[in-house]
Structure formats: C-alpha cells, structure tokens
Amino acid sequence: MNITNFWIALLCIFAGIANTEAAGLDQPQVTFGGFGSLGISHSTMASGDYVVDGGIPKGPGLSNYLSTTNDTRIAGHMAAQMSPKVSVVMQVDAEYHTGNSYAPEVEFVNVKYALSPDSYVRAGRVALPTFLESENRDVGYTYAWIHPPVEVYRQEPITHGDGLDFNYRLHAGDATHSVKTVFGRTSFESNDSQLSNAISSKNMWGIFDTTEYGSAIIHAGYLQRDTDSGSFLTSQGGTWVKDSDLSAGVQYDTGDWFVLSEWIQRRSTYQTNARYASAGYRVKQFTPYLTYASSSQGSFLPGFSPPTPEAVRLATRAQRTVSLGVRWDFMKNTDFKLQLDQVKLSDNSNGFLANVPANVTLYGSKFYVMSAVVDFIF
C-alpha cells in the first residue's frame, strides 16, 4: 500500500469512528484562524547571505541589501470538531522557500482521537516536538524574539512528520507530565547542498517529555530516523544514514520576567552540539530581551571519513550570536519587534551563511544583522 492510500484508509477509519459518535454533536463545529509576520532585515556581511533556515534560498547580505525572506509569512488554520472524541486540524503556511517563491504548503493536517481526557492519538502530518517552540515555531507572536536562535533551531530543520503520535498527560501533585511518542517519515527541501536538495527520512521515531510545574517548563526529547541526505554526506546517493537528536530545554516565566535555555546534540555521520540562553523583562507593553547562542564545530564519527569538501563544510560550520531586542505590544493580537544580532563565525567555518562564493573564506569574521518585524494573529 502506498503512502497516499494509507492515509486515505486511515482517514476513512477515523471518519467512521466520528459517524458512530456523532450523536454527541448536532453538526461539526468548525473554526478558522491564522497568523502572520511581516519582516525585513539587513546584514553587514556582503560576502554571503544570512538565512535563518536551511530551506531559504537567499537573504540579506550578498543577494539583497534589505530582505523580507527570513521573517515574512502568512498562514491559515482550520479546526473541526467532528464528534466529542474526533477532531481534524489543518494549517497551510506561505513563506519563502526552495524555488524562490512564497507558494503555500501544508504544514499540518491530522485527525485526532481522544482516548481519554488525558490522552490522544493523531494520524497525519504532525509537529515534531524537538524544541520548546516546535509547536508554534512559525507563530512569531507567541515568543519575544523575532525568530528562534539560529544556532540551535537550524540543527533540526524538519518541523513535521507524516505518521502517528500519541500523547499521555500524567498529573503528579502540582506537576504535570506530557509524554509524547512519534512514528513516521518525513522529507525536507534544503539549500544547504549544491549536490542534493531533497532530504528524506524513514523509520522515524521519538519520545519527548514536557513537565510543567508552577512557572517552570522542562522539556527533553530524543528523535531518531534513517536519512538519505544525498551524496554530500557519504559520496554515494541513496545511502541511508542513522540520524539522531538529543535535546533538552527549560523555561521559567513569572509573567514579569522570563529566562529560557535549550541544548541539542545532533548525530549523523558527524556529531555537533548547540545551545542558547535568553532572558527578558516585561515593562507594560515593552519586553526587552538578550540572547546568547552558539554551535560547536562538528567531528566525524568512527567509520565515517569526510568524503567530500561539502561534507566537511557542513560538519565544521560553527558560529555564535549575541542578540539584543525589544518587543512592543502596541495593539491587540499584534506586536512590533526590533532585534540586533552580532554574529561571529568560528576560526575555521563560514557558519550558516548561504551563497558564499566558491573559494571565499570568511573564517573568524564578525558581522551584524538588523531586523524588524510585525507579528499578528487573527
């Protein structure tokens, strides 16, 4: 059975379940909403493009003096309660991506079945909860920054998977644990390699735990899959490599001030680590914040020698960023943000810059990125 027929069969099964329970609702309850960001940025680095995601072909710097590609998007969201236990969610995003267009893409579409008040199973395209902000990674209005720290969130560019997830919420005194498991496969269009843009993964599984206790949230997870990242990793196309991500994060938010930090270790043919720490203070409508983020140089694991210059470039890229910004909630469901980033490349890496001309070495360079954005929800 191919993947399309598989999902059709699953949706039919869930539709049948919904019909048997439809007595609880006179008719499906459907709600619509959306969110968006209008952003612009400038980079003082003229020899490469500053891009916050591997799927963005170009950004401010070499390609454009001013660019809207990093932080501009619009998305629509639909939720339908089919029965007391069955619901359907779909989200479509339009943002700049591979192909140099803002063509809309389906970010999430899934059917959810509530097994109990504290557990559910979903089938379809679901979010991969690798980070604290994974569930709302594109919804800029929900966090203080203009975008999540690049050094950490670019380690895992895959935001969703096609498959199943199961969530169970456990109450232990004043603490609540939400344990989630995911199974499936995924694909991602990347501009990180000139040799292969398609990154596909299969046999994907992961387990994640989120603990909420008062003003604190603690998140930890492990995700593993077999990935065919193209010949730049192994010098042989169609070779599947075992990838894994071990991640952890903590957030403490009193309402007046907040601190949060995350760490991730990525293992593929090479191993690398990244982390960030951020803090902010809310003063009426204004939230100034400060963030420090860094990624370490990768090292090839035993049994994997660097097969191509491209593999070496991907494994050894490292950089650090100090960000200073402010958020202004100037009207209901709308904010305005300004952010200044100081980016320092490692002494043997071009970092996460894109479109650096061949044979251009920017190792150790320091540059600045200035960004402004308006976020909104509706």
Task: Count Cβ neighbours within 10 Å for each residue of 115-125 and write b for 16 or more, e otherwise.
Answer: eeeeebbbbbb
CA dihedral in degrees (62, 67, 70, 74; nearest 10)?
A: -150
Q: Can you give the pLDDT at residue 237?
A: 56
pLDDT tens, residue by residue, 83-92:
999 999 999 9
Closest CA to 286 of 310, 260, 265, 256: 256
Residue 4 has pLDDT above 70, yes or no: no
Distance CA(70)–CA(140), nearest Å, equals: 12
Q: What is the pLDDT of residue 3?
A: 45
Question: Which CA distances in Å does 134 have to 60, 76, 105, 131, 351?
Answer: 25, 17, 17, 5, 23
Q: Calculate mean pLDDT across residues 286-313.
A: 85
What ranges in the chain are assigned the alpha helix state H?
3-20, 150-153, 231-234, 309-316
Residue among 276, 290, 294 at smallest CA distance from 326:
290
Residues making up the chain, counted from first to last: 378
What pLDDT score was predicted for residue 198?
Answer: 66
Please give the DSSP secondary-structure letter assigned to residue 301: P
Give the pLDDT confidence of 165-194 residue by residue, as tens digits: 999 999 999 999 999 999 999 887 766 544
| CA dihedral for 134, 140, 144, 147, sign (positive or negative) | positive
CB 150 within 8 A of CB 320: no
pTM equals 0.89
Amino acid at 356: V
Model pLDDT, residue 195? 41
**Tokens describing residue 164:** 């199943």
Q: What is the H or E stretch that residue 257 is in?
A: strand 257-267
Q: Top-level CATH class of 3-377?
A: mainly beta
Which residue do the tokens 């403490």 mark?
252
Indicate the pLDDT class of residue 2, thresholds 50, 70 and 90.
very low
Q: Residue 142 in 3-state DSSP?
A: helix
In this predicted model, what pLDDT tens digit does every residue of 224-241 receive, in sequence order? 999 886 555 555 556 788
Strands 105-116 and 198-213 turn out to be unpaired
Amino acid at 85: K
Q: What is the mean pLDDT of residues 271-298?
A: 97
Residue 354: name the closest of 43, 134, 76 by CA.
43
For 97-145, what is each residue's pLDDT tens digit?
Answer: 888 899 999 999 999 999 999 999 999 999 999 999 998 999 999 999 9
The DSSP 8-state label assigned to residue 4 in this structure reads H
Question: For residue 114, what is the enclosing H or E element?
Answer: strand 105-116
At a CB cut-off of 8 Å and minimum separation 6, what does 143 contact? 133, 136
Residue 1 is predicted with a pLDDT of 41
C-alpha to C-alpha distance for 26 and 52, rounded to whole angstroms: 46
- 297, pLDDT greater than 70: yes
Tell me the per-residue pLDDT of 311-354, one tens digit each, with 9 for 90 and over: 777 777 899 999 999 999 999 999 999 999 999 999 988 999 99
Comparing CA positions, the residue from 267, 274, 272 lying closest to residue 303 is: 267
For 42-85, the pLDDT digits (tens) are: 999 999 999 999 889 999 999 999 999 999 999 999 999 999 99
Q: What is the mean pLDDT of the chain?
A: 89
Helix ranges restricted to H, 102-212:
150-153
Among positive and negative, which fits the CA dihedral 114, 120, 125, 128?
positive
The full set of domain ranges for the chain reads 3-377
Please answer whether residues 107 and 77 qualify as being in contact, where contact means their C-beta atoms are separated by less than 8 angstroms: no
